[in-house]
Homo-oligomer: A and B are copies of this chain.
């Protein structure tokens, strides 16, 4: 239990860690609902003073960058959980889709906030993106995925259908699981080998 000086340069007090999370979570909610919301809005949603937000993220761009890093990490974890190497490609794609769907608002941000795709460490191609494309290509090689369409295009199709499912749930009030199963149904047909 001799854990006196655990602190390294990158370690944070437990309280600080909690507040930081609160701010990041609130930022996801607020910004995904309305891009260009003010930092005051984020602060309020986080139940925190506006100055406190600035104490953790000096500039707005710092907050955005942190959000980017956060979603990136979760994307990575989701990709691992989906065990993309196991079994036939279509099944793996469905698992991946399911995991991604769970990320909800966080991924919406990735689409909606333009700064993310170019900014914040997303250098055009995320690791997860590459994994997804490779998975599709594996399916095409297996003959279980449509070979008439470009792998990159099919990747975009997957993202788009996910986005559509979220929209369906958010704006039309469709239950999440209903939207998800519609999404998977259509995705299965769209990716199927012709």
Contacts and interface: CB of A to CB of B under 8 A. Distances in A.
A149 B186 contact: yes
Contacts of A186: 149, 153-154, 157, 190
Interface residues of A, number: 33
Interface stretch (A69-77, A80-88, A99-107, A160-168): A160-168
Nearest to A192: B189
Interface of A is mostly: helix
A37 to B, nearest CB: 11
26 contacts: A34-B114, A35-B35, A35-B114, A36-B36, A112-B112, A146-B189, A149-B185, A150-B182, A153-B164, A153-B168, A153-B174, A153-B179, A153-B182, A153-B186, A154-B186, A156-B164, A156-B167, A157-B161, A157-B186, A159-B164, A160-B161, A160-B163, A160-B164, A189-B190, A189-B192, A190-B190
Interface of A: 34-36, 112, 114, 117, 146, 148-150, 152-154, 156-157, 159-161, 163-164, 167-168, 171-172, 174, 179, 182, 185-186, 189-190, 192, 194
